[in-house]
Amino acid sequence: MTPRPCHAKTNVMFLKTHKTASSTVLNILFRFTEKHNLTIALPADQRFHLGYPERFNTSFVEKLQNKMQNYNIMGNHLRFNPSEVHKVMAGDTFYFSILRNPIFLLESSYVYYKNMVPAFNRSKDVNEYLASPLKYYREEDYKKNIYAKNIMWFDFGYDNNAEDNKNYTQEVLKDIEQNFHLILIADYFDESMILLKHTLCWDLDDVIYFKLNSRSNDTVQTLTAESRERIKTWCSLDWNLYLHFNQSFWRRIEETIGLEELEKEVNHLRMRQKELMETCLLGQEAVVKTRIKDKTFLPFQSGDANILGYNIRPDLSNKTLKNCQKIITPELQYMSYLYSRQHPHKKRKPLNLALPWSSSLEKTQVPRQN
């Protein structure tokens, strides 16, 4: 049978959850925005996120000159609030998000947010924290402690300190199913990209990526077997969320692509990624922050994590160089560039970094305003 022709979806909302490979997904969306000259909902004024951790409202987005216009793309950190998000996105918008196994997510959060989360800061390491979390986690600090318990549940707009009651949990899962067309799984990232490509009718190069905002292995803390089990109880809302959508993820793949075809396409994606790494990167791998040569591409550093970045080969043609630079550009730099490109009359974001390819692009491309 000939596959039914489809049209690439260009109205897309991504709920960017924390420590779930979501910065890599956002880079994919930023590149797609530029490629198709789309409009994107970006944080207003000097903000770097859409009002997080407050529930999203429309005042957190920088308005377009045509104030009645909806955005094509949305993906910066926000706490989901469907009625407000719907006000700035088109009626046919495709909504998706990504989840990660809470066991790995909590360890990652612990290292990344160690200095800013009181519950983490009071404990020596992640295993000490999990041995008796209530010793360190105080509900009166809950806004500062959101990363320490059920962070994905919170990002979707729900109470991360709620009791894990079966009826309540089922109601929330049903709610999320109604609000989102697709939930991806970070633990199967390549499979997720293939499913996203099929669902949005995008090209393979649209979902090719280099990992962004990942950290060096020497900052990973080893969880004990007891700690792993405790996470399932301490973050039981996130655990239920993950189990539910991990099942629906694989069911969706079997219904739409099939496991055999999936394997072929994942291999194709990895081959294309390897090819691009050979083309773009010095040493063909990510490097620690001290070894990043061009500080324009230095990612934001946080907590005890050593966030990795990349070095571009110096011998590339202009077009290849620009494409390679975009795929390695950290989130804050890319967002700031898109902001100045889409809102040229507004004060720039306070980053003090000019991307090497931004001035020429700003002169030649203006996002469409209709």
Residue 90 has pLDDT above 60, yes or no: yes
Six-digit token pair at 19? 């420590």
The dihedral of CA 14, 17, 21, 26: what is its sign? Answer: positive
* pTM for the predicted model, two decimal places: 0.91
Six-digit token pair at 16? 């960017």
How far apart (Å, rounded) are the C-alpha atoms in residues 118 and 133?
A: 12
Please tell me the least confidently modeled range out of 24-38, 240-254, 313-327: 313-327
Confidence of residue 305 (pLDDT cuts 50, 70, 90): low
- Residues 203-223 pLDDT 10s: 999 999 988 766 667 678 999
Looking at residue 353, its pLDDT comes to: 55
- The CA–CA distances, whole Å, from 271 to 154, 162, 190, 208, 312 equal 37, 44, 12, 10, 19
Confidence of residue 370 (pLDDT cuts 50, 70, 90): very low
Give the percent of the chain with pLDDT over 70.
Answer: 91
- Phi-psi map region of 149: left, alpha, beta (phi>0 left; psi -120 to 50 alpha): beta
Confidence of residue 324 (pLDDT cuts 50, 70, 90): very high
How far apart (Å, rounded) are the C-alpha atoms in residues 370 and 95?
A: 22
Chain centroid offset of residue 352 CA: 23
- Residue among 310, 306, 309 nearest 282 (CA): 310
Looking at residue 352, its pLDDT comes to: 56
Looking at residue 349, its pLDDT comes to: 85
Q: How many residues appear in the chain? A: 370
Looking at residue 298, its pLDDT comes to: 72
The dihedral of CA 102, 105, 107, 110: what is its sign? Answer: negative
The dihedral of CA 14, 20, 23, 28: what is its sign? Answer: negative
Residue with tokens 């040493």, as numbered in its chain: 283
- Residue among 98, 186, 106, 101 nearest 148 (CA): 106
Six-digit token pair at 1? 């049978």
Average pLDDT over residues 244-249: 98
Q: 3-class SS at 247?
A: helix
Six-digit token pair at 249? 């993820």
How far apart (Å, rounded) are the C-alpha atoms in residues 279 and 319?
A: 12
- Running DSSP on this structure, what letter comes out for residue 235? T
Looking at residue 302, its pLDDT comes to: 63
- Residue among 368, 296, 291, 367 nearest 326 (CA): 296
Residue 356 has pLDDT above 80, yes or no: no
Looking at residue 1, its pLDDT comes to: 52
Six-digit token pair at 72? 């094509």
How far apart (Å, rounded) are the C-alpha atoms in residues 54 and 11?
A: 24
- Residues 8-58 pLDDT 10s: 999 999 999 999 999 999 999 999 999 999 999 999 998 889 999 999 999
Confidence of residue 365 (pLDDT cuts 50, 70, 90): very low
Average pLDDT over residues 109-133: 94
* 3-state DSSP percent of the chain in helix, strand and coil, to 5: 50, 10, 40
Average pLDDT over residues 250-273: 97
